[in-house]
Amino acid sequence: MSAGATRPARVGLMIPSSNTMMEVDFARDLPPGTALHTARMFMEDTTAAGENRMLDEFALPAARDLGTARPDVVVFGCTSAGALRGNDYDAQLCEQISELTGAPTVSTIASVRAAVAAAHATSVGVVTPYVDELNEKIRASLEADGTRVAAIAGLGITANFQIAEVSEEEIVALAVRALGDLAGRGDIDLAFASCTNFGAMAARSAISGRLGVPVITSNQAVLDAAVARLRTRPS
């Protein structure tokens, strides 16, 4: 790099090892000139057991490794793992990651909660690829902020790799099937499509068009949060 040149901002991304969607979404929508650097945390099963193992064995080593790339902001890229042990644990985990990487850390579930609050939404409908056990963790995380979860529906997929293979059309159909009546009656003022390995970011506008309410997705919410943090970094 020549003298006086400005290096690109660096986003460090921590994702489950079997996630094939989040990097694609980030690479497509990060501001031009932003560099993306990824660390993978071993996880094959989108279950409480699989996510607990990822948190206990692989999250902090991945953060340590990612820190050697000197990121400007770090993203913890797993929505349900962030919600799994409650919002206080998620905040503590982000503090640990920041200590290891030397960078501010944003989690996906916290970014979603902030986006819900910014939208002044009081009642939301949620769609996920998850099993019920993880859906209830998502519900608890959102409701801890006082947000009403009017409905939450999942596809019951436990193999994380398969989640990314769900088509945009199937995601839209799930949202309409699970939330269409609620949206039509005005019982929800926002929809949330959860999971960083779900192709919901690309389907976001179609879901919103069918439901007639704003839509938040995991990858969109945390990408927005990461970019906002980059804007505050020293030049």
- Residue 4 reports pLDDT greater than 90: no
Average pLDDT over residues 209-220: 98
Domain 10-109+221-231 and domain 114-217 have a common topology: yes
Q: Which residues pair with 216 in a beta bridge?
A: 192
Q: Where are the domains of the chain?
A: 10-109+221-231, 114-217
What is the rounded average pLDDT of the residues 199-226? Answer: 97
pLDDT in tens, 117-162: 999 999 999 999 999 999 999 999 999 999 999 999 999 999 999 9
Q: What is the pLDDT of residue 231?
A: 87
CB 40 within 8 A of CB 62: yes
CATH of region 10-109+221-231: 3.40.50.12500
- Yes or no: say if 83 and 109 are a contact pair by the CB < 8 Å rule: yes
Predicted TM-score (pTM) of this structure: 0.94
What the block records as the tokens of 128 is 């996920």
Q: What is the mean pLDDT of residues 199-217?
A: 97
Mean pLDDT across the chain, nearest whole number? Answer: 95
Percentage of the chain exceeding pLDDT 90: 94
- Model confidence over 169-206: pLDDT tens digits? 999 999 999 999 999 999 999 999 999 999 999 999 99
Right CATH number for 114-217 from 3.55.50.30, 1.10.8.60, 3.40.50.1860, 1.20.1740.10?
3.40.50.1860
Q: Is the pLDDT reported for residue 28 higher than 70?
A: yes
pLDDT in tens, 7-17: 889 999 999 99
Residue 235, pLDDT > 90, answer no
Task: Tell me what pLDDT residue 135 has.
Answer: 98
Residue 40: its H or E element = strand 35-41
- How many other C-beta atoms can be found within 10 angstroms of the C-beta atom of residue 110? 22
Distance of CA 161 to the CA centre of its chain: 16
- List all residues 6 or more positions away from 49 whose beta carbon is below 8 Å from its beta carbon: none
* 3-class DSSP assignment, residue 85: coil
